[in-house]
Structures are given as structure tokens and as C-alpha cells.
Amino acid sequence: MKDTSRKLAKFLYKKNVICNANNENTNYNKIVRALDSFSNMHTMSNKDFLEKILMGAFKLIPEAEKGSFYELVDDKYIPIVSNGYDINTLQKLVFNREEAFADYKCSDIASIQAYEIYIEERDNTKFSEEIINTLKELGIYSKYTCLYAPIQVEGLTRGLICFECFNKTGFTKTSKKILRFYAQIISNFYTQKVLYEKERKIYNEIVDALVSAIEVNDKYTEGHAQRVRQYSCNIAEKFQLSKSQISDLSTAALLHDIGKIGISTEILNKPGKLTVDEYNIIKSHPIYTKRILEKISGFSTIANFAYNHHENYDGTGYPQGLKYDEIPFESQIIQVADAYDAMTSERAYRKALSSHEALKIIKKEIGKQFNPKIAKVAMETFSQI
């Protein structure tokens, strides 16, 4: 993202939209700084993202006194963020698409432009009395200049960025050029964010479908995957893992038993004791988990965390018999969360243990089945649940 913003700023520099790249306070540096602040846009809330868009533009348009960002949702323009206006008053201005900015040009257009309009007085035949009063209260009923630009995704307007200047001089040509380029760049970022959110939605739907597939096969594990995920995330929070580590751990915990799809329902739901052969078949489920998850692009880390959820700290686990630091830390968290939930849930062959009994077993297994550091934090976490 940083490279992109620098390239774009250089492009603007060449186009004479901005000048003197070496001076800290030039538009070049202001644009680079404004665009750099979008580097983590995928993890921002929508409101934070729109606030960054608006505030970034404010730094580039010196004549702007007030401004706001309207998002177009279900054919209605809704003010989401503003600078200089009381947001509660501004939010009374929710318009239908066709009536919104009756005197403005902001329909879907091929190229993104910045427009300037001087409003001597609003046409009061176009608005209700309530809207006129709100416009007057906000000071945008008459005698001001607005500089605005649509933000588009694939040629369709998704929002409108507006700046008001109450001084007769209005906006300079440079400000218009800068807003035009800024709106084009932001439309690009906005498109990326929309696509990323679509991808994320599909990803979550795939994960949910996989979890339901395990539960169809094994009636005793209903809700198990979600609880193991919740416990794992609660434990992980105490170890200050990064957001992306927690995200991978969360998905791995949710899908750790997906390989049980490959085990016959009769064995999974057998009420009595398992034979050695049957137990060995059950023990192959982490291998199936790995095979399934590895097929999904971008899941190799998640597949590895889930694959190792039956490894024991002292090397007596399966499928690889890894020990100590050889076992990924995230897998060790899933392992203790999985063990606690398995013990406190009813199974085909036994009744559920109480939380107290399960905690006693975890304590006994510290240093054997469980990593002492993780087990200690896990026990605190479980006793608070």
C-alpha cells in the first residue's frame, strides 16, 4: 500500500497537481501521508475508514471549512462522518438518491470528477419544510460553495465526499485537481475494501459449511467446534498474540476436527469401548484435517495448527509424536481447549465431567499432556467461564 501511495503521489507530481516533493509541507508529502494511513484499511471499521477518507482530504484542501461523507446505501444518501457539523443534526438529512443533491452532479458516471457548485439559495420547492429547516440550521441553505466528488466502485457511485467553503472566493483550481485525483485513488481503495469484505463473507460461509459437515457426521460434537474456538481465543488473548495469529488460531480451532468427515459414523458414535483398530482409525482424523484444509488456498498455516491438535507436550501424542517447542504454540492452545470441552461434554461412551473434575485432570497432566504455561492460563480461563 505504501508503494502504491508513493507511486500515485509521484504521478500527481508529474502532472503538476502537486509540486516540490522535497519540502515536508508540500501537497506531495501531504498526499503520501494521507494515503499511507490506509495501509491497514482491511482491519478498520467502515466508519473509521470513511473518517480517514474525509480527514485525509481535509488536509489537502485548505479552503475546506466543513465537510462530510455520505454513503449511498439502498438508494439513500446517508451522512456517516463529518467535520464541522453536528452529526446528529446532519443525520436528519437522509435523502433518496434522486432528491439527495438535487442541484449537484453526482450520478453514476464513467470517470470520477471533482465538481464545484455555488449555492445562492436552495430551491425550496424540492425539499420538505423539515429538510429546509435542517439545512438552515447547518448553514448549508444559501450562500456557500461546495466542492464534492463521487466515490465509485465499478462505475457505480457508493458515496459522496463534500466540502463547504463559506468564503466568497471558493476553491482553487489546484484543490479541484487534487480532490479529483484523491477521489479516484479512494475509489480504488473503496473497491478493494468491498472486494475484501465479499471474500471474507465467502470465507466465513465456507468455514461454517465445513463445521456443519462435521456435526452431521458426529452428533456428539454439536457446538464443540465453536466452544473450542471460543476457549482457544480466550486463552490466546492472554498471550498477546497478533491479530493475524489469533485469526488463524480461531479458524484452526473451529476446523480442528474437520478430518472426522473421513471416519465412519458407526465408529464415531459407538456407545461402547473402541477396539484398538477402531481407536487407530479415529487417530487418523488430524491427517484428514490437514489434507482437507491444505486444499484451500491461504490455509497452510491453519492446516498445520489443526493437524497438531492431538500432539502432547511430552511427545506421547499423535500423529507425529512431536514434543515441547516442536508443537506449534497455537496447536498447544487448541489442544487444551479441545481436551477441556471433550471432558465437560457428554460422549457416546461416557457422561460429561464437571468443570471441577476436568480442571483436576488438566492440573495432573501439566508437563505431560499439556504445556505448563498454557495449562495455567487455560485453567484460569476455564474457571472464569
Whether the CB-CB separation of 42 and 59 falls below 8 Å is answered with no
Rank residues 257 and 330 by Cβ distance to Fe ion and give the closer one.
257
**Residue 71 or 338 having the CB closest to Fe ion:** 338
- What is the closest distance, in whole angstroms, from the C-beta atom of residue 57 to Fe ion in the complex? 50
Report the nearest approach of Fe ion to the CB of residue 224 (Å).
6
Centroid of chain to Cα 130: 38
What is the closest distance, in whole angstroms, from the C-beta atom of residue 310 to Fe ion in the complex? 6
* Contacts (Cβ under 8 Å, ≥6 apart) of 223: none
Q: Which is nearer to Fe ion, 145 or 250 (CB)?
A: 250
Cell numbers at 20, concatenated: 516540490
Which residue has 509521484 as its cell numbers?
Answer: 10
Give the span between the Cα atoms of 200 and 102, in whole angstroms: 36
Asked if 308 and 320 count as a contact pair (C-beta separation under 8 A), the reply is yes
Return the number of the residue (71 or 257) whose C-beta is nearest Fe ion: 257
Q: Would you state the cell numbers that stand for residue 302, as one nine-digit string?
A: 491453519
Residue 181: CB minimum distance to Fe ion, A? 53
Give whichever of 248 and 257 is closer to Fe ion, judged by the CB atom: 257
CA distances 161 to 60, 138, 157, 196, 262, Å, are 13, 17, 11, 22, 53
Mention every residue, 6+ apart, whose C-beta is less than 8 A from residue 142: 119, 120, 121, 122
Instruction: Between 152 and 331, name the residue whose CB sits nearer to Fe ion.
Output: 331
User: Quick check: 214 and 223 in contact, CB under 8 A?
Assistant: no
Give least dist CB 289 to Fe ion, A: 8
Q: Kindly tell me which of 248 and 338 has the beta carbon lying closer to Fe ion.
A: 338
C-alpha cell at 116: 464545484
Q: Quote the least distance from Cβ 216 to Fe ion, whole Å.
A: 16
CA distances from 107 to 42, 98, 100, 150, 371 (A): 27, 9, 11, 8, 61
The site for Fe ion (CB under 5 A) is made up of: 257, 338
Residue 246 C-beta: closest distance to Fe ion, Å:
19
